[in-house]
């Protein structure tokens, strides 16, 4: 009788077990905004607890040299979703609608790629890749969009879209609406509705971008911080950590945590004076090609597939997320896609000991940089774009210019950058659509 009960139980469980084994992994990307390299617990910040975000690094891999391809909001997003240097297709700056701003329609997104492979797709949060109808997420491979077109307030944001109701862009008028909390609500609801098939959740928070705004319940957590601006920054980060935690809890509830590749990173370095963001030991900040503008907090988790608690020290970049995610689901990018990112899986599992990238490049108007091995040649503010050479292995703070002692190395790197730059397209629009003030 006991044997019959065991057999009966196995028959009932077999379809679910088979489904779990055969189902492709889900992909989740959390993207924070304007958070410096020195923030988050997994980066050493003890002032603002971020246990949920830290758990991704604890249960996965923390990148000490995680980069983004642009030191600014929209360019980084364009590179992330295409797996290509955004300068290859002219998406060099933020822009205004009047300047024809938006991710060029010639480019396919990560959502396009995954939707073609049978994935449910959603973007929840700050889009910032164009506001006209043809540029919105619903036309770029996402089944749904719930969030802001670009930067806006956290309470009752303007330029908001809920594609379940309409494709129209308009204001939120609901009292008590706070975007970070609302994004968590929608993400949990969307996962619940789409749990029967593999899914791609892209959740780009507008936290910690200005304006600094937080609800009283989060401000109360940091009553001991006397600087009002820093206290609000801390409260916003705590709200974002709670939102991440709610998504992670939902994945566990539906028994999909082990079957989900989870990424977390920031879009650029922190704009320290305006928000109190800390870039740690790095020099520079948002909108510069110094390390403080392009090296960011970065981690990934895939339980049972990637090592837990690993620190990975070779340079990687957000362009790698697309090809790595495709590899995780057993798909291969076509040569015609011309991706610049690489599949990180064999590097993270130890299958190969080579570096994913020997050389990385940046161009942001008159500012530019190239990193080759540990050497970095950079022209950046606030140095009036004077070209300087740094050995990052010995000088993470970019304090000691080596151009005088290593002129041949500087010449070699400049020639390599020039060759790469010749492959890039001119910017499709001026910075911020020609506006003088940058946000």
Alpha helices in 295-338 (DSSP H): 321-328
Range 430-436 average pLDDT: 67
* CA–CA distances in Å: residue 285 to residues 119, 230, 246, 322: 36, 17, 30, 26
pLDDT for position 434 = 60
pTM of the model: 0.94
pLDDT for position 433 = 62
CA 220 centroid distance within chain? 29
Name beta bridge partners: 146: 124, 162
Q: What is the pLDDT of residues 140-196, one digit of tens each?
A: 999 999 999 999 999 999 999 999 999 999 999 999 999 999 999 999 999 999 999
CB atoms within 10 A of CB 275: 23
Alpha-carbon gap, residue 375 to 318, rounded angstroms: 20
**Rounded to the nearest 10 degrees, what angle do helices 228-253 and 179-193 cross at?**
10
Checking if the pLDDT of 139 tops 70, the result is yes
> Which of the four pLDDT bands, split at 50, 70 and 90, describes residue 13?
very low
Question: In 3-state terms, what secondary structure has residue 244?
Answer: helix
Range 18-38 average pLDDT: 87
Range 400-426 average pLDDT: 98
Q: What is the pLDDT of residues 94-120, one digit of tens each?
A: 998 777 899 999 999 999 999 999 999
Range 282-303 average pLDDT: 98
Alpha-carbon gap, residue 206 to 227, rounded angstroms: 22
pLDDT for position 432 = 74
pLDDT for position 97 = 76
By the 8 A CB rule, do 201 and 28 touch?
Answer: yes
Active-site positions read: 73, 128
Range 227-247 average pLDDT: 98
Range 274-299 average pLDDT: 97
């Amino acid at each position: 009788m006991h044997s019959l009960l065991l057999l009966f139980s196995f028959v009932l469980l077999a379809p679910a077990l088979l489904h779990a084994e055969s189902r492709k992994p889900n992909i989740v990307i959390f993207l924070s905004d304007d958070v410096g390299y020195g923030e988050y617990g997994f980066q050493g910040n003890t002032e603002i607890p971020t246990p949920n975000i830290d758990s991704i690094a604890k249960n996965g891999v923390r990148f000490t040299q995680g980069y983004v391809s642009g030191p600014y909001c929209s360019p980084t997003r364009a590179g992330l979703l295409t797996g290509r240097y955004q300068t290859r297709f002219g998406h060099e700056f933020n822009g205004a609608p009047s300047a024809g701003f938006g991710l060029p329609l010639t480019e396919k997104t990560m959502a396009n790629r995954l939707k073609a492979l049978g994935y449910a797709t959603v973007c929840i949060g700050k889009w910032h890749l164009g506001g006209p109808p043809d540029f919105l997420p619903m036309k770029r491979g996402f089944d749904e969009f719930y969030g802001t077109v670009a930067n806006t307030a956290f309470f009752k944001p303007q330029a908001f879209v809920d594609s379940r109701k309409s494709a129209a862009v308009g204001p939120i008028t609901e009292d008590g609406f706070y975007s970070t909390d609302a994004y968590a609500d929608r993400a949990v609801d969307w996962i619940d509705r789409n749990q029967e098939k593999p899914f791609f959740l892209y959740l780009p928070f507008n936290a910690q971008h200005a304006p600094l705004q937080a609800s009283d319940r989060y401000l109360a957590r940091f009553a001991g911080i006397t600087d009002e601006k820093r206290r609000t920054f801390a409260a916003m980060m705590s709200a974002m950590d709670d939102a991440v935690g709610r998504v992670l809890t939902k994945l566990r509830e539906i028994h999909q945590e082990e079957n989900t590749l989870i990424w977390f990173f920031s879009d650029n370095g922190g704009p320290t004076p305006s928000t109190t963001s800390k870039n740690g030991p790095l020099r520079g900040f948002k909108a510069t090609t110094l390390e403080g503008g392009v090296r960011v907090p970065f981690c990934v988790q895939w339980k049972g597939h990637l090592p837990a608690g690993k620190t990975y020290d070779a340079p990687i970049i957000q362009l790698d997320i697309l090809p790595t995610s495709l590899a995780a689901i057993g798909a291969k990018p076509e040569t015609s896609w011309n991706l610049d990112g690489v599949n990180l899986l064999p590097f993270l599992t130890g299958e190969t000991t080579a570096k994913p990238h020997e050389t990385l490049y940046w161009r942001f108007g008159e500012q530019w940089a190239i990193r080759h091995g540990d050497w970095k040649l950079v022209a950046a503010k606030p140095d009036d774009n004077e070209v300087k050479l740094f050995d990052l292995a010995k000088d993470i703070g970019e304090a000691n210019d080596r151009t005088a002692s290593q002129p041949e190395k500087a010449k070699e790197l400049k020639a390599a950058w020039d060759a790469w730059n010749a492959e890039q397209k001119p910017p499709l629009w001026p910075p911020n659509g020609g506006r003088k003030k940058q946000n």
